[in-house]
Amino acid sequence: MPRILLVEDNPENYDMLSRRLERKGYEVLLATDGQQAIDQTQQQHPDLILMDIGLPVLDGCEATQRIRGLPEVSGIPILALTAHAMEGDRQRILSAGCDDYHSKPVDLKQLLEQMKTLLARSGAPAAEPSDGS
Ligand code: MN
């Protein structure tokens, strides 16, 4: 089962998204600020990180840059979740080291496709949905 680190500071967002991802066959770990994202990444070695950009302590770009500087975890795919889909932010997100980004509100179907692509690229196991989809 692929292990996803969901980095999200809004409880409503992480409750909903983690439940939906679990139904789709993912194990979901949670971090609620940028420093926790780095610590959890080092301790848990997730298969993929879903990284909110607007976060307390360190924002998602800063956390991503630091993860990219840690050799044991630097290859983990990072998919940014952003409320700001503006061109400038997109550049900032990609140059911080994120592999891809997804604009909130989350479109689950599209997000799952983006996750699948990144996981396949890194050779992680495929998810087995429990909801028959
Ligand atoms: Mn946020």
Q: How far is the CA of 48 from the centre of ligand 1 (A)?
A: 18
Q: How far is Cα 56 from Cα 40, in angstroms, rounded to an integer?
A: 15
Q: How many CB atoms neighbour CB 133 within 10 A?
A: 9
Q: How confident is the model at residue 129 (pLDDT cuts 50, 70, 90)?
A: confident
Q: How confident is the model at residue 84 (pLDDT cuts 50, 70, 90)?
A: low
Each residue of 22-75: pLDDT tens digit?
Answer: 999 999 999 999 999 999 999 999 999 999 999 999 999 999 999 999 999 999
Q: How far is Cα 32 from Cα 37, in angstroms, rounded to an integer?
A: 7
Say if residue 85's pLDDT is above 70: no
Say if residue 87's pLDDT is above 80: no
Q: What is the pLDDT of residue 51?
A: 98
Q: Please report the beta strands in 3-125, taking only residues with DSSP state E, as ranges in sequence order.
A: 3-7, 27-31, 48-52, 78-82, 100-103
Q: Encode burial over 36-70: b for 16+ CB neighbours within 10 A, e otherwise.
A: bbbebbeeeebbbbbbbbebeebbbbbbbebbbee
Q: How far is the CA of 21 from the centre of ligand 1 (A)?
A: 18
Q: How far is the CA of 83 from the centre of ligand 1 (A)?
A: 8
Q: How far is the CA of 132 from the centre of ligand 1 (A)?
A: 31
Q: Which residues contact 43 (CB under 8 A, 6 or more apart)?
A: none
Q: How far is the CA of 129 from the centre of ligand 1 (A)?
A: 27
For 87, phi then psi, to 5°, come to -55, -45
